Amino acid sequence: MGPAVSAVFMVKDEADRLGPSLASVGWADEVVVADTGSTDGTQELARAAGARVETIPWEGYVATRNRALALAKNDWVLVLDADERVSPLLAEAISCALESPGPVAGFRIPRLSHIGAQPIRHGVWWPGRKLRLGLRSRGLRAAGGRVHEHLEVDGEVRDLSAPILHFPYRDVADAVRKNTLYARLSALDRFDRGKRGGFLSVFFRPPLEFLRSWALKRGFLDGRAGVGVALLHALYYFLRAAFLVEEGEKEKERRGG
């Protein structure tokens, strides 16, 4: 038998999709749901599923994720969101990997994202490999800016081949809302680093990103869903560039023109 594993979720108002995610980690020794203020029954659903629910303040993606990680009782921690599920194949892969992990401090896991029920196996979404399983004793932590935080550990990281199943959007409105939010936060991060927007990034980068996802990364093999992914990818880059231009204009106004 391998070491104990804590599965840790960071959520808010996810009652409509957290259930299958919790069910997918029923094998874990501990399931922790770090809730940042749900009002839709998420906490009650999680408790009914056997998870330990802790309410934590929202302090931004990085700080809040680190607060959630600190709630785990076990050294090995699997980090998940409410729109992600662990397939039986991945659960088996994790079990096998932890039977004799050796010097490894963490594992990267690919994400198989879906549009509706269709898996997206091409384009910029696949394989989307991310560190998601790591040792707290080896410094497992979140890092990054306002958005798109990532996990780090101190030590060797290896890859698992079985993917996390990812269902990022409830519908088109949810996709546009999330892309708008993430693009704005990313633009603010870039602005803080001294980046400034311009004509080329607004009008030329988005179509190039569409072609990169749909043609270069063979998103066309995913049919209409592949077109949708490429369009969302291009939209993100357009919005990020537009928000960056907007921040530049605000800066000029603050300086008096």
| Predicted local distance difference test score (pLDDT) of residue 197 | 81
**Helices 172-192 and 223-254, axial angle in degrees (round to 10):** 40
Q: Which residue do the tokens 């659903």 mark?
A: 45
| Bridge partners, residue 55, by sequence | 35
For residues 69 and 7, the answer to whether their CB atoms sit within 8 Å is: no
* pTM confidence score: 0.92
Closest CA to 168 of 53, 47, 82, 75: 82
Q: Return per-residue pLDDT of the chain as tens, 257 residues.
A: 689 999 999 999 999 999 999 999 999 999 999 999 999 999 999 999 999 999 999 999 999 999 999 999 999 999 999 999 999 999 999 999 999 999 999 999 999 999 999 999 999 999 999 999 999 999 999 999 999 899 999 999 999 999 999 999 999 999 999 999 999 999 999 999 988 888 889 999 999 999 999 999 999 999 999 999 999 999 999 999 999 999 988 888 888 75
- pLDDT for residue 257: 55
Closest CA to 244 of 194, 206, 207: 194
Q: How far is 142 from 44, CA to CA, in rounded Å?
A: 27
Residues of the chain with CATH 3.90.550.10: 5-166
Tokens for 6?
């804590």
Q: Which residues contact 96 (CB under 8 A, 6 or more apart)?
A: none
Q: What is the pLDDT of residue 1?
A: 67
Residue 210: the pLDDT is: 97
Concatenated DSSP letters of the chain: ----EEEEEEESS-TTTHHHHHHTTTTSSEEEEEES---SSHHHHHHHTT-EEEE-----HHHHHHHHHTT--SSEEEEE-TTEEE-HHHHHHHHHHHHS-TTEEEEEE-EEEEETTEE--SGGGSS--EEEEEEGGGT-EEE-SSSS-EEE-SSEEEE-SSPEEE---SSHHHHHHHHHHHHHHHHHHHHHTT----HHHHHTHHHHHHHIIIIIT-GGGGHHHHHHHHHHHHHHHHHHHHHHHHHHHHHHHHTT-
Name the superfamily (CATH) of residues 5-166.
Spore Coat Polysaccharide Biosynthesis Protein SpsA; Chain A (3.90.550.10)
